[in-house]
Structure formats: structure tokens, C-alpha cells
Amino acid sequence: MTVRIAPTHELGSARLRSVRDLLDAAFEGDFSDEDWDHTLGGVHAWIEDERGIAAHGAVVLRRALHRGRSRRVGYVEGVAVRGDRRRRGLGGAVMAELERVIDGTYAFGALSASDAGAALYRARGWRVWEGRLDVLGPAGIVRLAAEEGSVFLRPAAGLALPDPAAPLVFDWRDGDVM
């Protein structure tokens, strides 16, 4: 199994269309145009087989304020494995490459996990953020209480996670903020 890795602009329109098709199928129609937009602009990791894209994930830059500092966060988006290839290690292989990117580029990694995906991230050492979660939106700082408990963090190699005693305030984006 070969995991390929490249920035969005190197994937080309046909491969990006295949990734979008995988994500639409994996999320059973609950993958919006805003979700797709959140997946673009960073680094993608994917596995292809004779049927096309079998697994995919991306890591994009987000900013998060914590204790008066703006942190570079590697935010994981668009992780999915095609239905016929699940439970064979493809998701873990894709995540290993994304974690390598996070380790070399960001202060820490973050992601919002579905109930179905949470086990993968826990098994890889990602931890649920136990602190307050906010977003700096057009109207100022807004608490994201409904998202608390579903956001996972992973420190980059050799770095510590933020202190959960202080809020983590993410940058605004259209659609689902987290």
C-alpha cells in the first residue's frame, strides 16, 4: 500500500473530483461544499488502487489563539476510506503521513471527529480537548459548546499541547466552523 502526498495544486482536477466523490459517498451526502472548501489548500495524503481513490485525508493551516498567542495548527480534514477497503489499515496509513506533516510544520494538530472516526484517532494518540472551545467570528468570540468533546488534539513532535485551563479560540470559516 503506497500513500501518496502532495499539496492541493498538484492533485489535478480529475484526482480532486475523485477525492470529492469518495468524501460524498463516505459521508453519505453529509459533505457540503463548505466542507470541501475546508479540505483544500493544504497537503493531501491518499491511497489509490485499481478502482481509484481508496483512502484520503488532508491537513490545512488554521490559526488558534491560546493564552494571548496565535498558534499554527495543522487541522485534519476530509478523512475517509472507501467502503470496500475499510478496516484494513488505510485510514491509519493516511493519518501517519498527515501526522508527519503536522510534526514538521505545526505547533499541534487538531480535528473534529465523528463518532465513527473517533476510535481511529484515539488509537493513534489523539486526545479529546478537555477545555473550552471558541471561535473568533464576525461578531467576536463565540463559544462552541456543542463542539466540545468532539475536537481532538495531537502535539507536534517534541511540543506540548495547549493548557485546557484556557480557551482555545479558532479562526472563523464558513460552514461548520469545526
Residue 103 buriedness (CB in 10 A; 0-12 / 13-18 / 19+): middle
What does the block give as the cell for 11? 492533485
Work out the mean pLDDT of the chain and round it to a whole number: 95
Looking at residue 120, its amino acid is L
Q: Between the CA of residue 68 and those of 49, 64, 71, 166, 172, what are the distances in Å?
A: 46, 10, 10, 10, 17
Looking at residue 134, its pLDDT comes to 97
Looking at residue 29, its pLDDT comes to 87
Q: Is the pLDDT of residue 26 over 90?
A: yes
Looking at residue 97, its pLDDT comes to 98
Looking at residue 161, its pLDDT comes to 93
78: Cβ contacts below 8 Å, ≥ 6 apart: 19, 23, 35, 36, 38, 39, 44, 56, 57, 58
For 119-139, how does the pLDDT look when each residue is reduced to its tens digit (9 = 90+)? 999 999 999 999 999 999 999
Q: Is the pTM of this model over 0.75?
A: yes
Looking at residue 63, its pLDDT comes to 97
Q: Is the pLDDT of residue 8 over 90?
A: yes
**Mean pLDDT across 36-63:** 97
Looking at residue 42, its pLDDT comes to 98
Q: Is the pLDDT of residue 116 over 90?
A: no
The candidate with the shortest Cα–Cα distance to 70, out of 136, 150, 145, is 136
What's the CATH fold of domain 4-171? Aminopeptidase (3.40.630)
> Where along the chain do its domains lie?
4-171
What does the block give as the cell for 159? 511540543
The candidate with the shortest Cα–Cα distance to 47, out of 5, 86, 75, 78, is 5
Q: Is the pLDDT of residue 117 over 90?
A: no
Looking at residue 157, its pLDDT comes to 87
Q: Which pLDDT band holds residue 158 (cuts at 50, 70, 90)?
A: confident
Looking at residue 115, its pLDDT comes to 85
Torsion sign (Cα): 27, 29, 32, 33: positive
